[in-house]
Amino acid sequence: MFLALIFLIFFNFFGLPGVDGATCITKSTCAWTDFTLPLCISGTCKCFNSSFVPIRSGCGLQMTHRPVVSAQQGKTNQVISGQSFELSCYFDKYNDYYTFEWYLGETKLSTRSNTYTAVADENTVGSFTCRVRTSARLLTSPLSYFFEVVKLGGASGQATSNERPTIYVPTNSAVGGSTVILECNNIPMGYTDTIIYTVNGVNTTYSSVVITSANAGKYVTCTLTSPSAGVTYSRPTSAVGNLPRLTTSISSVSVVVGIGTSQRLVCALTPSAIYLQSSPITYTWKANRIHVHTLDNMMIAKHT
């Protein structure tokens, strides 16, 4: 009883910051459990101490690791006015089933998944944060750091971008006749206008390049053109990248453990198999010097 009184005084004066969760009207709605106190402050049941946070059913332990909000792969934190964009809330700790919570400024969004999609206007951009809850163990993560989404163009958008695109060439070497797909990265989300690739001095809008002795090792750049929303790019052209050099053989082979399962072994080649297309590849696997009957680039390790 005495202890309860102490808590009552303590939490009335130093109530935890408002977190939506176990809602209450009076303290009788808040069950007194190991982590939840029979206290109702501003419509939320209060928790034992700051290691716990209100959740729907009471209070759960707070996780210490923060999730991270990020833009689509290869994109900046900018979005072209009127175009759709997608953010991800990434969290790699713990293996429970997660529920995601998203906030735009102080406003909680209705999205429950790890991605958030919207069409960019003045009401849908700003500072995003996310949080993760696990169902089974009732854990809650702290909020992520802010991720600011900036609108380019349109009525209230920024008219000039100072971001510079980058060019990504997916391999350093390739057999003549193979195709590489160039990627122009660090561009705004929702960019749908033309990208010009300058490949060995020639302008093209195609991102795929067939490697020949004439272009192997030569320079490539990508350039953004001023898009529909009226945005200008102060640095529209990427720094130069190099097309892969020609190779006629596999320069290295290694066995790597497959992603997701330790039992799947993969035979990794340099350059990777898709840049060796003109020469058929045969895989031979041995386990303890004994041939394994698979002709695939992958094998499942069996414990005997």
Which parts of this chain interact with ligand NAG (CB under 6 A)? 48-51, 196, 198, 203, 223
Whichever of 50 and 156 has its CB closer to ligand NAG, that residue is 50
Q: How far is the CB of 237 from ligand NAG (least distance, A)?
A: 6
Q: How far is the CB of 182 from ligand NAG (least distance, A)?
A: 14
Cα–Cα nearest to 144, from 74, 54, 49, 63: 63
DSSP states of 226-269: P-TT--EESS-BPPPEEPPEE-SS--EEEEEEPTT-TTEEEEEE
16-35 as b/e: b if 16+ CB within 10 A = beebebbebeeeeebeeeeb
Least Å from the CB of residue 142 to ligand NAG: 13
Partner residues linked to 256 by β-bridges? 266
Q: How far is the CB of 195 from ligand NAG (least distance, A)?
A: 10
Alpha-carbon separation of residue 56 from 53, 63, 115, 191 (angstroms): 10, 16, 22, 40
Least CB distance to ligand NAG at residue 35 (A): 8
Closer CB to ligand NAG, residue 128 or residue 197? 197
